[in-house]
Amino acid sequence: MGNDKRVEHLRDMIEIRLFENAVFDLRVSGEYVGSTHLYNGQEAIAVGACAALGEGDAVFSTYRGHGWAMARGVPALSLFAELLNRTGGICEGRGGSAYFTAPDHGFFGENSIVGAGAPIAVGAALAAKYDDSDRVTLTAFGDGAMNQGAVTEAMNFAATFDLPVIFVCENNSYSELTPIRDMVREQDLTRRPEALGIPAQKIDGNDVVAVEAAISGAVAEIRSKSGPVFFEMMTQRLQGHYVGDPEHYRPKGEIESYKDIEPIARLRRELNSNGITDAELEQITAEASKTIDRALSQAKMLPGLEQTAVRDVREHVYG
């Protein structure tokens, strides 16, 4: 992979980071309310994976999915608008932080029930057997979700029917406030899909290049009609489980220890050593910052939901 592509990835990751930082501020200052799960620290996974997917492919994420939405190309403007109760929000205020959905961008949505997205993604993959598409479906979930029966059922279903789906387990070492290592006996989560007959691999989820390579390979195989693939992407989150999490459970110094390995720092260093100057890197950050700032200020200028969506609040409902 050349520097150009790396720079593009860096820009995408920084945009996600800055978007999330802005969301954090909005949430903390009370400009909107509602449970919010940030993606900081895990950007390489969404960015690397989505770089390997085509337009017609389908992505299903969890509540920790802002980064996935953006990596699929959903404009930050429509995400800010969604949070800030503005018309033009990606779900016109019905979804909120935990339920961003943008099928136009091949983003079939976040899901706030742990593990529940996996069977649905498998259904999207099932559809590809019949609808003459070569669609690959990717579903992301956390380490903790591995303990939810739905995920095992989904993986077995996909394995049994050779479905074109990529399971991405984003192992950030915590299931909410509890370390995953305390909630499993066998620490290697790839053994589970393997036991179902699904090829599985551990990937450094902080290395956007490695992520893209892994997913690209899987996509190529799957498009030529092989079955499901599983990746355990090792990563970390750089803040609380949700905005407001006091993180009492976090060992002192843990976040600092991620400083050099987290994906943005890592890629900056790599580009640095590939000859990209600090000034050039700062330039990228500055541009990304402008993009996000502009999206936010545009979102704030959109009319509030009071004006439109409230009128239709009962539409699409079947009591």
Partner 1 sequence: MVEQAGVNYGGAINAALRRCLAEDERTIFFGEDVGKPGGVFGVSKGLHAEFGNRVFDTPISETAMIGAGVGAAMMGMRPVVEIMWLDFAMVAFDQIVNQAANVRYVSNGKLSAPLTIRTQQGYLPGSCAQHAQNLEAFLLHVPGIRVCMPTTPQEAYDSMMSAHYCDDPVVVIENRGLYAGPKTEINIGAEPSEIGGSVLRREGSDITIVSWGPIISEVLAAGDQMPSRGIDAEIIEAVWLNPFDWNGLIRSVKKTRRLLVVHEANVTGGFGGEILARVVEWDIQVSHMRRLGLPDVVVPASPVLMNELRPSAESIVAAAVEAIWCRS
Ligand X SMILES: Cc1ncc(C[n+]2csc(CCOP(=O)(O)OP(=O)(O)O)c2C)c(N)n1
Binding site for ligand X (CB under 6 A): 62, 64, 112-114, 141-145, 148, 170, 172, 174-176, 241
Other Cβ atoms less than 10 A from the Cβ of 104: the count is 10
Token pair recorded at residue 21: 């930082």
Q: Judge whether 168 and 139 are in contact, CB under 8 Å.
A: yes
How many Å apart are CA 242 and CA 262, to the nearest integer? 19
Contact flag: residue 126 with a second copy (CB under 8 A): no
Q: State the minimum distance, in angstroms, from the CB of residue 144 to ligand X.
A: 3
Answer with the entry of a second copy, Mg ion, partner 1, none that 185 interacts with (C-beta below 5 to 8 A by kind).
Answer: a second copy
For helices 263-273 and 3-28, angle between their N-to-C axes, nearest 10 degrees: 150
Q: State the minimum distance, in angstroms, from the CB of residue 297 to partner 1.
A: 20
Contact flag: residue 94 with partner 1 (CB under 8 A): yes
Contact flag: residue 99 with partner 1 (CB under 8 A): yes
Site for a second copy in 145-164 (CB under 8 A): 147-153, 156, 159-160, 162
Helix (H, G, I), strand (E, B) or coil at 168: strand
In terms of C-beta distances under 8 Å and separation of at least 24 residues, what long-range contacts does 305-310 make, across chains too? 305/85, 305/86, 305/87, 305/89, 305/92, 305/93, 307/87, 308/87, 308/92, 309/87, 309/92, 309/93, 309/94
Among 1, 28, 33, 195, which residue sits at the site for a second copy (rule: CB under 8 A)?
A: 195
Site for partner 1 in 108-127 (CB under 8 A): 108-109, 111-116, 118-127
Contact flag: residue 300 with a second copy (CB under 8 A): no
Token pair recorded at residue 92: 């016109």
Which residues are CB-neighbours of 316 under 8 A, at least 6 positions away?
A: none
Among 143, 207, 232, 262, which residue sits at the site for Mg ion (rule: CB under 5 A)?
A: 143
How many Å apart are CA 194 and CA 197, to the nearest integer? 5
User: What is the contact mask toward Mg ion in residues 166 to 205, using x (rule: CB under 5 A)?
Assistant: ------x-x-------------------------------
Answer with the entry of Mg ion, partner 1, a second copy, none that 194 interacts with (C-beta below 5 to 8 A by kind).
Answer: a second copy
> Which residues of the chain form contacts with a second copy (CB under 8 A)?
147-153, 156, 159-160, 162, 182-186, 191-192, 194-198, 227
